[in-house]
Chains A and B, each alone.
Chain A
Amino acid sequence: MASLGSTRRTFAPWADPAAKPYIRFENVTKRFGDFTAVDDLSLTIYEREFFALLGASGCGKTTLLRMLGGFEQPTSGRIFLDGQDMKGIPPYRRPVNMMFQSYALFPHMTVEANIAFGLKQDGMPKPQIAERVGQMLKLVKLEQFAKRKPQQLSGGQRQRVALARSLAKRPKVLLLDEPLAALDKKLREETQFELVDLQYELGLTFIVVTHDQEEAMTMADRIAIMDKGKVLQVATPAEVYEAPSCRFVADFVGSINTFEGSVTKTGSAARIRDRSGTEFRVADAGEAAAGDTVWLAVRPEKLSISRERPADAANALDGEIWDIAYLGDMTVYNVKLDDGRIVKASTINSIRRLEDALTWHDRAWVSFSADAGVVLTR
């Protein structure tokens, strides 16, 4: 998968068999009564990695984070941090710190006192505490707010205080529970990059829980996509997007067209026939055997849309333009095939005004090359 886009920096310990995992979840299960929040989950995270746990609410991602923080004990399975079994170790003796979704700032303390809280617990001498608090305030650009109480700050400022407080003890691992969920869109986008820069500069391991796929893709080195207490795929953002492991992942991250069909020819020039008889040419059907039911998944931007059938297209379908979503930078066309299926195709609006623009109820062809899609077996 190395050809699928490079990661932000050449950092890929997970691809190196000699690299030692920093955090290991081994067959971890957590049940609350009858409800299984985390189901026999195994996962490894490396030092200095920015790792994202992505999933819808209730998928178990927060429970996983809370188990690492020590707030929940696994029902079964083990968690290792830097080679040490974390079983029975309370939160106040773990070398990890957490940034809470609600920020959990102490309302009766000033910004300064909030940041100093953890250092005081460690019995650090006062002059050193003052120095460290100063550094932290500078790091999050809140020097002039040191004496304020949390309720006198804006949402973005509170988020920074929470970040500074959780970083003050220089933890080995920082756990972030939906760190940006309470911020508005613009601030969120800025803060994403700030977090990445901060993590890189400080050389820490960050584990962030989020339900926002864009946030995970922007920030993380690797993403674990979770559903019903299980991890469905762990991979880089590019791999998750371009080579999803299953339909759930394909559908959860971005939008996608899936064509159900059965394999009629395997190998490097495979064919997949769907129920309406269309035969798709596929460059690689992976491990699917002839006769298997598979799903050909193609991202909307991999489809071209045109009035005439392109002569060299490996795959082409025709239909009627049913809906157009003009998003500014791009336009998404929903094309209704004659059997009623809707296919999404998006185009980048690189030209300001198109002479012969497609419009509602026009007949159009959507086409894609043999290597545009990925064949999913589940």
Chain B
Amino acid sequence: MAGTWGRFNVVALALGFAFLYLPIVLLVIYSFNESRLVTVWAGFSTKWYVAMLNNRGLMDAAWVTARVAFLSATIATVFGTMAAVALTRYTRFRGRLLFSGIVFAPLVMPEVITGLSLLLLFVAINFDRGFATVTIAHITFSMCFVAVVVQSRLITFDKSLEEAALDLGATPVKAFFQVTLPVILPAVIAGWMLAFTLSLDDLVIASFTSGPGATTLPMKIYSQVRLGVTPEINAVSTVLIGVVTVGVIVASLVNKRQEVLRQREAEIG
């Protein structure tokens, strides 16, 4: 197959990847820099990771972020899955088109607007901004991503599976939890992973909706960078990149594996 790799293709590929990943690679490399100066390489060291772990402010922000991400992803997955089920199943209810439009609009809505509108809401109802508001805001914008992922799975879901469960005596609720959910679970997990990583690296919406004592990691990094980039920030960013990368890869692998299984099943059947 080597023959198909023309020189042009190789160059194009290299340029493309360099454009995408060079900045990130540099960040990762400099997180292992001995020197305090970001632009001067002074040998390999993991001391900034140690410094990062000892940085109370940074660790607090990381903990807030983790909790927000976990909680918002979980709730968004529940809501998003419910929305997806409703939109795929009940195709004949009035206003379905409007509903699906509303559910998916936040996908293309500028984050600044989502953040601003949420802020206005919280101010209007006099809701103290903090951990709860960030979590709510993250549920709002990530549930539509979950809905998209789960809906695409439900479209290929054989409805007679659920009917068979009903036929065998399961109530609709039991049929959903014992048959539908286990079958679409990989898509639900993928949706959760996606929601989790989206929440993890969100800066804009968090900045609008957060309050004192609920500074997320991206917010912390952003505010520290304004005072100057330190290798400590590089270290924490590298960790963040690692978590997000693993999350995205796992989500896509889970989905991919399920797809392969389904295809194999279709071939036999």
Contact = CB atoms under 8 A, between A and B. Distances in A.
Q: Do A and B come from one complex?
A: yes
A97 B168 contact: yes
Interface string A117-157: 11001100000000000000000000000000011011100
Going nearest first, the 7 A-B pairs with the smallest beta carbon separation are A118-B168, A121-B169, A104-B164, A104-B160, A91-B166, A151-B265, A108-B182
B180 to A, nearest CB: 10
Given A108-B183, A169-B168, 8 more contacts: A70-B166, A90-B166, A91-B163, A92-B170, A102-B158, A107-B265, A122-B169, A166-B167
A102 B265 CA distance: 12
Contacts of B167: 69-71, 91-92, 96-98, 166
Nearest to A122: B169
Interface residues of B, number: 22
B161 A104 contact: yes
Given A108-B183, A151-B261, A121 B170 contact: yes
Contacts of A101: 160
B269 A158 contact: yes
Interface of B: 158, 160-161, 163-171, 174, 178-179, 182-183, 261, 264-265, 268-269
Interface of A: 69-71, 90-93, 96-98, 100-102, 104-108, 117-118, 121-122, 150-151, 153-155, 158, 165-166, 169, 182
B264 A121 contact: no
Contacts of A102: 158, 160, 269
A182 B163 contact: no
Given A106-B179, A151-B261, A71 B169 contact: no
A169 B165 CA distance: 13
B268 to A, nearest CB: 6
A272 B55 CA distance: 106
Contacts of B161: 104, 106-107
Given A71-B163, A104-B161, A106-B161, A92 B169 contact: yes
A105 B178 CA distance: 13
Nearest to A97: B167
The listed residue with most B CB atoms (<10 A of its CB), out of A90, A102, A182, is A102
